[in-house]
Amino acid sequence: MFPVKIDVQEKKTLHIIWDDKTESLIPLAVLRRNCPCAYCVTERLNRLPSYIPLMSTAQRTLRDIKPVGTYAIQLYWQDDHDDGIYNYEFLKELEKKE
């Protein structure tokens, strides 16, 4: 499984076309809320169950997407957060989340 094309649709959704001709549509808010970097994972683990995440526009706006080897992409957010490396399997899992 390898992306053939990745783009952002309407500034709200990551659109991926895979080499098996399937497509994934993942809301940017879902990507940010599930950032796999160590800082964000720790933040999620330490939250109270009643926590409601609020995100600024900058936290939900992508400024760049770069490949990481042949297994992942790195997302660069408008608020300068860029530590998350999203492997392709994780992206396929996220397409099922809302």
CA–CA distance, 91 with 30 (Å, rounded to integer): 10
List the one residue out of 90, 91, 94, 85 whose CA is nearest residue 66: 85
List the one residue out of 37, 39, 77 whose CA is nearest residue 56: 77
- The model carries a pTM of 0.90
Task: Give pLDDT, residue 98.
Answer: 60
Residue range of the domain that includes 56: 3-94
Domains contained in the chain, number? 1
Strand pairing of 72-77 and 13-18? unpaired
Task: Give pLDDT, residue 1.
Answer: 87
- Residues 30-70 pLDDT 10s: 999 999 999 999 998 998 788 777 889 999 999 999 999 99
For the chain, give percent helix, strand, coil, nearest 5: 25, 35, 40
CATH number for the domain that contains residue 32 = 3.30.2020.30
Local structure of 16: helix, strand or coil: strand
Does the pLDDT value for residue 25 go beyond 90?
Answer: yes
